[in-house]
Amino acid sequence: MQDFKFKNIKAIMVILFFISTVYAFNAYAAEPPAATTAAPADQLTPPVETDDPLEGFNRGIFSFNDMVDHYILKPIATLYNKILPTPLNQGINNFFNNINTLPTIANDLLQLHLYQTLNDTWRLAINTTVGVGGLFDIASRMNLKHHINDFGLTLSAWGYKNSTYIVFPFFGPSTIRDGFGFAVDYYAFSIYPHIYPARSRYALYGLGVIDRRAQLLKFEPVFEEVAIDKYIFVRDAYVQHRAYLIEENQNLGFLTQYKDDLSPDEETDNGQNQS
């Protein structure tokens, strides 16, 4: 019976993926990509070089995802924020941030960022124990900063710098590199494949999706008021954010972190001692 249910779930996912793909092709064939509305001169940002040869197809998937979000995900996330007390809402968000530390630690090690590995391991240990399973972010109060790492960033650190931008059905903006990285993080480093029965795994992952969408609602006014089209805005925001994380990751060696933790007086003293 469980195998039958699991096969039904996989069949539904395949059908949904097929529907979204057909929708993307139809949307692309029906209308050309929307022109970008120029923003005021004082709001212009530096141009972003994005490898987006699939823009037509991506716009179709983006429209499909936007429709799913508008009619399903956003209403659920809005209700979620309304019915949950703020402390519980924040606690659930802390919980998911905590379990997502596992892939972060694995990728810290793959990139040989030993200082950051220690920081993130301590965060996981403290928040899981003292923080009651991660519901309370005690580690941040101890100056153990939250850090994000994933296999897409690892591939970038290993030399896979540039990658084609792509929008995945339901999962949203990504690149070929980051999409592959997401699959590795999920199956190799996260707790989800080890959660049984399968319905509990999907329920937990679904709650995480709702939590992430609920956290983004606070940025909705900014998103709605942008003077450029939504596709370009989301694409450039994603690419800029990933570029920031890649650059930040390049500065996570032990010596860099050690210098960052030193006060200006300590740095001066060390410089005088060396001279």
Which of the four pLDDT bands, split at 50, 70 and 90, describes residue 269? low
Per-residue model confidence as pLDDT tens digits over 153-190: 999 999 999 999 999 999 999 999 999 999 999 999 99
Long-range contacts of 183-192 (CB under 8 A, 24+ apart): 184/151, 185/103, 185/106, 185/107, 185/150, 185/151, 188/106, 188/151, 189/102, 189/103, 189/106, 189/107, 189/151, 190/99, 190/100, 190/102, 190/103, 191/99, 191/102
Cis check for the bond before 32: say yes or no (omega within 30 of 0): no
Which of the four pLDDT bands, split at 50, 70 and 90, describes residue 262? low
Structure tokens, 223: 């998103």
Please give the pLDDT value at position 108: 97
CB 160 within 8 A of CB 154: no
Taking CA atoms, 58 is separated from 9, 167, 168, in Å, by: 25, 5, 8
pTM, rounded to two decimals: 0.77
Report domain extents, the chain.
9-37+50-83+150-263
Residue of 142, 143, 125 whose CA lies nearest to 134? 125
Degrees, nearest 5: CA angle 222-224-227 = 85
Per-residue model confidence as pLDDT tens digits over 109-156: 999 999 999 999 999 999 999 999 999 999 999 999 999 999 999 999
Per-residue model confidence as pLDDT tens digits over 204-246: 999 999 999 999 999 888 888 875 789 999 999 999 999 999 9
